[in-house]
Every structure is written in structure tokens, then in C-alpha cells.
Amino acid sequence: AQSVTQLGSHVSVSEGALVLLRCNYSSSVPPYLFWYVQYPNQGLQLLLKYTSAATLVKGINGFEAEFKKSETSFHLTKPSAHMSDAAEYFCAVIPRSFNKFYFGSGTKLNVKP
């Protein structure tokens, strides 16, 4: 069965520091991969997605993620955190064999001044 693992339910960084949010998937065939962000009391917003084009995907708000097949990972990064990045981030996959979203459990990012 497909699964998505997000390491760390809470991550705290200082403003200006590197943001690294981890996502690993379990699948022998690389799925489609997504990162969504959820600000408090709002719905989810797509940050970026990987659909088998370039392995380094750039998204909105300065975020990017790199697909690494050998590590079955799709970690989200941003070089310099901003206070406005404080939110919950969800990794999601769609297996190529059938159409269904699987979401990770989420990582809450706290940005300290």
C-alpha cells in the first residue's frame, strides 16, 4: 500500500535560516508528488508538484523540492525562512497506477524572530 511519511510533526527555525521539511514515499514506481501549505483557518494551497519532468521543482514563495528516486524522497526547502512561512505543510502523492491522493500527516513550521 502507498504511504507518505513526513518526518517531524513540528519544525522550528529562526527567521533567515534554511527550511528543510522531509517527505518520503513508499512505492517501487515513482509517483506524482506534491507539497501543499495550509495557513491557519484556511484551505490547502499548492506549493509545487513533480510529475516526471525536472527532478528539481521550483514552487511559489521561494520554495523548491528535489525528487530523489534512490532515496524515495521529495524534501521541501527554502534558503531563508520568513515569518510569513509559518504554516502547516503537507506532502502528498498520487500513485501512477491509479488515481488517488495520499496525504502525509503534516509538518507545522514555526519561524522564530
Partner 1 sequence: NAGVTQTPKFQVLKTGQSMTLQCAQDMNHNSMYWYRQDPGMGLRLIYYSASEGTTDKGEVPNGYNVSRLNKREFSLRLESAAPSQTSVYFCASSEAAGWTDTQYFGPGTRLTVL
Residue ranges that bind partner 1, judged by CB under 8 A: 4, 9, 32, 41-46, 49, 51, 90, 92, 94, 99-101, 103-106
Which of 7, 27, 22 lies closest to 69 in space, CA to CA?
27
Least spacing, CB of residue 54 vs partner 1, in Å: 15
Q: Which is nearer to partner 1, 66 or 108 (CB)?
A: 108
Q: Which is nearer to partner 1, 30 or 106 (CB)?
A: 106
| Alpha helices by DSSP H, 1-113 | none
**Measured distance CA(82)–CA(16) in Å, rounded:** 6
The DSSP code for 108 is E
Using the structure block, give the residue that is written with the C-alpha cell 514515499: 25
Least spacing, CB of residue 32 vs partner 1, in Å: 5
Q: Which is nearer to partner 1, 39 or 110 (CB)?
A: 39
Least spacing, CB of residue 105 vs partner 1, in Å: 5
Least spacing, CB of residue 45 vs partner 1, in Å: 7
Q: Which is nearer to partner 1, 5 or 17 (CB)?
A: 5
Which residues are bridge partners to 112 per DSSP? 14
To the nearest 10°, report the CA torsion of 34, 58, 38, 75.
60
